[in-house]
Copies of this chain bind each other. A is one copy, B any other.
Amino acid sequence: MEQDEEAATAGEDAHSQLMYRIERPVYDENLIRTKLLHRKNNSTTLRQRLAEKFQCSSEKAKAAVLSFLPILTWLPSYPVKQYLFSDVVSGLSTGVVQLPQGLAYAMLAAVPPVYGLYSSFYPVLLYTFFGTSRHVSVGTFAVISLMIGGIAVREAPDSMFYSIPANGSNTSAVLDVVARDARRVEVAVVLTTIVGIIQIVLGLLRFGFVAIYLTEPLVRGFTTAAAMHVVISQLKYMLGVKTQRFTGPLSAIYSVIAVFSNITHTNVTTFLLGLGCLVFLYAVKVLNERFKKKLPIPIPGEIIVVIVSTGISYGMSLSEGYKVDVVGTVPTGLQPPALPDFSLLPNLITDSFAVAIVGFSMGMSLAKTFALKHGYSVDGNQELIALGLSNFISSFFQTFAITCSMSRSLVQESTGGKTQIAGFLASLVVLLVVVAIGFVFEPLPQTALAAIIMVNLLGMFKQFRDIPSLWRTSKIELAIWLVSFIASLLLGLDYGLLVAIAFALLTVIYRTQSPKNSIMGHVPDTGLYCDVDEYEEAAEYEGIKIFHSNSSIYFANSELYVNALKEKTGVNPQHIQAARKAKRKHKHKESSPVKMYVKYEDEAVTHEVIPLNHVVEEQKNGQLKDNCQESSSDEAVSLQPLAAVHSIILDWTAASFIDSVGAKAIKQVIKEYAAVDVRVVIASCNRNLLAELDSLQFFTGDMATDMVFPTVHDAALHCQRLNSQPPAAPTGETSPVTEGESRDLTS
């Protein structure tokens, strides 16, 4: 009662009057099923439910059309006066960023720059019609572009395109760059078609949830590795060094070695120009961030770099005079649609899945962020379909796969973009350049584009800070981050992603298999139970062990569960049985030559109440020791009852499912304990799990529903009472129910 008052005083302001009061008989599952709870008979049959699901109606059809073409929902009610000006400003700003990024990311994708411009036009336009996110800017994205580049180079390596010069001279073969690039475009385009198809199909099948397997630490480790790959791939452009492009496992390392072994061939002009761009872009980035509030629109550093460096390059004839690599031919106008070359399909199908899923999950996470910020919702499956259609249709016009870009989306949102109209206008800006003035970018040095790519990825390297913070919060998630990073860096983005996903899933298995097992004690007068090893107030009932494990019981951990049960409770039926046999032999013939391998040292077990924890310790030690000597305790064995623990309560609060292996293991262990007169009951088992046990035919034979209790407290009261009843209580001091718990038995 002291405690009651103390607690009451403590919570005086909020809890002074509020009492938790329950007074009812102790229930077991048998009673619950027969008297207390009645199952509703749910009258809807499977057929009815199916019928309901597949029922067709004009309303449903209308809703389906609207959800497929979201533009029909929002465009008719577009508030022109309110939104149009912001959307125009935002659209133009975004378009100005799309342009240099398109050119730059085409380099990552290993295709000529103009294809980057195509990819910044068609899909962006299409997303306006199908997308549900109002703030993301779809288009080229570094990680996806790099993945495409890796695949394109793998399928069309330089080595395939060396041809002996026509004049038959014996000099070294010449690389046919035009044929190579054409082939790489073909690969990128057909990959994009397949990616689109995969995304559409996943969306139609309502498989938008696959992105959930890309947990945040995984994605961050993966994108950090991708950023490393990108920077490594751009080093050669920055330095103006010519090396081959590597793909596959360890390509990052080969690339670094190749660049550094050629570092003496650095083109100084290229390097200085690139460095200048890099410093300028970084400065602009810092300024934009610092004066976010004061600037009406961010300074368009990228387009400035493009224009200025194009101007310098043209003015000084960098390409001819200083051997600086430039963008080269940019054909004006769009290309007619063409059918992708599907013969490449078998080689690309797995890569396509990787690109499709990475692309979608990047896009979706951005879309969700903005939706939360602005209070609307995006439909994951429709987003998949929107991205898929954008990729699929565009691919017929020679684009490579796209998704949302974080940096560009931030520009679009911060410059006041309100709806998909902004994205639409951005695509028109790109279109204008493509059809009218694309050729002006021809003298643009590649090193400037490399600088743009690198600065855009600087933010991703901040993700290295995850390592110390994850170290503090969750070691498992740190492991996922590191595995994802290292695997993606070393094995390449495709296999790396696969390894990372497999690892992340295995951590879930690991978590279910490394539960925390504990012996619970009750906190007097509260009905609460907690770990006796951790909390001072937790007290065990005499002769009752309450075993808690925070996991489900299924094939991969049923054995661990049973072992932990025997170890934690300190009561091992095999040992008791062995001790009993020894006792029996000891009685029958005085000097039996058989020694038991392991003996249960039960001489330490007494019926005193106070040093219970101490007793458990000794029981444990006794069990762990393999004492083979004929101990003097045999006499004691025959005098003392065999186990001081008469009941074990399995606290299944945390168990959410069970399978046949688990059920068998539990059944088995209950039988084993029954053989040595220890009663095992199940407590706090949720009703779904009870239903599973029913369908596994658990409650047959010796198992009955009256050994299941709705709460641990019910079970504890029951066990206390049962033990004190039929054979007179072994010691006088034990009252049937402990003092604090039910002081008032006469109800």
Which residues of A are in contact with B by a Cβ distance under 8 Å? 3-4, 6-8, 10-11, 14-15, 17-28, 31, 34-40, 42, 63, 66-67, 73-74, 77, 79, 209, 212-213, 215-218, 372, 375-377, 470, 472-474, 476-477, 504-506, 508-509, 511-512, 515-516, 523, 525-528, 530-531, 533-537, 550-552, 554-560, 574, 577-578, 581, 593-595, 597-598, 626, 628, 653-657, 659-661, 664, 668, 672, 684, 686-689, 692, 695-697, 706, 710-711, 713-714, 717-718, 721, 737, 741-742, 744-745, 747
In the assembled complex, which residues on chain B have CB atoms less than 8 Å from the CB atom of A212? 555-560
Report if A551-B477 is in contact (Cβ < 8 Å); known contacts: A21-B23, A34-B10, A537-B38.
no
8 Å CB contact of A661 from B73, B215, B718: B215
Q: Apart from A19-B24, A372-B672, A474-B695, what 8 extra A-B contacts exist at CB < 8 Å?
A: A17-B747, A18-B717, A21-B24, A37-B536, A209-B559, A212-B559, A215-B554, A216-B555
Cα A367 to Cα B547 with chains together (Å): 27
- CB-defined contacts of A653 to chain B, threshold 8 Å: 653-654, 684, 686
Interface of A is mostly: mixed
A674 to B515 CA separation, bound complex (whole angstroms) = 33
Docked Cα-Cα span, A293 to B13, in Å, equals 77
Q: Tell whether A686 pairs with B550 under 8 Å between CB atoms, given A509-B508, A696-B474.
A: yes
The residue in chain B whose Cβ has the minimal distance to the Cβ of A211 is: B559
A179 shortest CB reach to chain B, Å: 38
Give the chain B neighbours of A747 by CB distance below 8 A.
Answer: 17, 19
Q: For the complex, what is the distance from the CA of A124 to the CA of B600, rounded to whole Å?
A: 32
Complex Cα distance, B526 from A742, in Å, reads 16
Q: Are B37 and A8 in contact (CB under 8 A)?
A: no
Q: How far is the CA of A3 from the CA of B27 in the complex (A)?
A: 12
30 residue pairs of the A-B complex, CB under 8 angstroms, read: A4-B24, A7-B31, A11-B25, A19-B24, A21-B741, A22-B525, A24-B527, A37-B523, A40-B533, A66-B628, A73-B628, A216-B664, A217-B661, A372-B672, A376-B597, A473-B697, A474-B659, A474-B692, A474-B695, A505-B506, A508-B509, A508-B556, A515-B656, A528-B711, A530-B687, A550-B686, A550-B689, A551-B656, A552-B656, A654-B656
**B626 contacts A63, C-beta separation under 8 Å:** yes
Contact B26 A20 (CB under 8 A): yes
Q: Which of B26, B73, B216, B660 contacts A473 (CB 8 A)?
A: B660
Q: Which residue of B lies closest to A559 (CB)?
A: B212
Give the Cβ gap from A656 to chain B, nearest Cβ, in Å. Answer: 4
Minimum C-beta distance from A215 to chain B (A): 3
Residues of chain B contacted by A4 (CB below 8 angstroms): 23-25
